[in-house]
Chains A and B, each alone.
Chain A
């Protein structure tokens, strides 16, 4: 128990420190939101134009589509992270050395750091997404089914963890390649596509939907948004949670292997 409290204290101290860092760069944090809000608005505008007079596309009315975009982006704001580049830079510049000599694992340190780094941005994002939702208050479909909300909550938390692990894994590739920007950008696009961030996945052939259900990405956008709209039932949601847990375990296992092998390669840069 005491051990746990100690661990929590370490974790919180690092989170707090990086919270402060984020506050130092409040301009960046604020300006990011403009782009986010803009993107959401453009998507809504685009879909409004596509619908024209049509009542229904892919089983969604325009109102549902707008809700899908708004709520999906709201979830996404909570889930995403920017961990890969931080890790890759630590490895490339040899800063990892300074962590390797400390009596705390790099994994725990960097996760605490990232949570501290993004929590302010996340809150701002959630706030701005909420503002956009309020702006569309008449179009947005409000639904407070507690069971559904609980499943969605669990799904968002697991998606956060899965994405954190995935980013960590991508970052570790820098042990071999030094830079991971290209890899990250590519995976980010694949991720966005399979998550349903560009458009709802059920517009695509059923095979795509099935593949995406087996991947972790759909659970960061498409599935929780569809759950909210009650376009998929609870059992799909629960099955989703299971798939997420499996992914988290698999990613964790791969990370362990990659970390150990990568560390053997790590040369700390410079003789």
Chain B
């Protein structure tokens, strides 16, 4: 049982601008203006208006609004929440905040439930390096990237700024966030802190045959506090940032809803400390960025009711990593540019349990790419990346060192004055097994191969209407992916002896379509409609003789979609957001017993803002989540909250 619990812990910005520019770190876009045509990236991102309108608890709530993403949530504030894109596993997704990767070598996944959303200004998802060439190479070569930008870590020219947020919601949810930022043409100084707490004891309903069970989630409390500061200096073409971030979490681990057994006593306490910094220059022909991030994560897992002779489990894991890298983009003339990158991530895991492995990993990345534009209409990009992974276990057998080369090819064309864009690309990528998958006591398997992914995509986007008051954007992608050597935990001796194995191959055929519309009906009334739909047929092609050959892979939905409508009238806004997920299977065998029901979750949010002439504003928001009071679960037996409420009061200066 412990094994499964631990395994659960675990875990070209080708702007449509009228000229070709070097891709660069984008400044935060906080705009509802339609004076300029919005780029493809902006249509594919969530901006601050979207984020505030959604009143998300965490980054996972936001990412699920992007196309072709599948969120796996185990429920509740701070609960484990991961994202996978286009049928690839969650470990193929890179999560980046302010240009710095968020990583966890121990379990290979980032818990999006622990990234609060109050300071996120923009979030972009991508699968074809469209996010930025200045992201760490480790993120660029991942199967997909999700990049966030926060209020505190970006230069502006607004002088002194304050943001203070207070929240209260159902299940004794309390939240606060405060930040102070001073930035001008030369300096950036910011400090921020946040606090979230809930008892997590929300009601749920579950069907047990002909019986309907109504109960409350137990041991689902959560508390976190985060603080940090950033300072920076900016020159005419360059800037330098240095920051510190500390996050502390204490939470119950409720586990699945087990019929007839409501006991749950496991707890997780963790702290995460990061020091990060970068130096960036942006010139007419050269962009350069060098960065580092030093991270230490301590995780204390306790299960006082584990039935061993020690009277329970109390294990402390310490995962340290140092990430250093540099990116260079050199534009030789208007049609040709080259990008280069190097990165190294040194990771180490130590555990106070002497039986556990003590692995050290040195992961080296290199990348070289070239981008050529033909007649200002067509663009060809070629890229190759290398990765060498050196494994060393100080307490037991080491995994095998790995070396891989991965190509990326992309062709795109822009027709009709850039209103019709097509692109075709191929990417190969892989993800390394995590420390837990390689070394965790008896389930780890040091012979694991990396999980390989091949993605082929054709997409088009069109701007059929773009006037000062109305813009319409439509984009569609068709893709096929192949994943081989999927790493799966399976029982090997009996149901209590599990091991990690490379046992599955998968083929994914999918399409996604996004329709975005911004309409300024009048000077005072602005509307925004975003619709996206994704179809993902991800089937098991491991063995023709297997009963699951051709069956949809567990927990990958065939259909997902979002319909979001927002209306702003002067200082009043309302957003109606809907997220739908079709039924999935809890196991690869597509039989009725394994079916997990689909659901539609609607969120209604309204706000009113009082603005003063002295740049002060106060916003009051009221949000109803799960408006239709659906009883639902992303993961079988991990029930999610039914209808709940949130009130938010925000004060902003500048």
Indicate, yes or no, whether A interacts with B: no
Chain A positions near chain B (C-beta within 8 angstroms): none
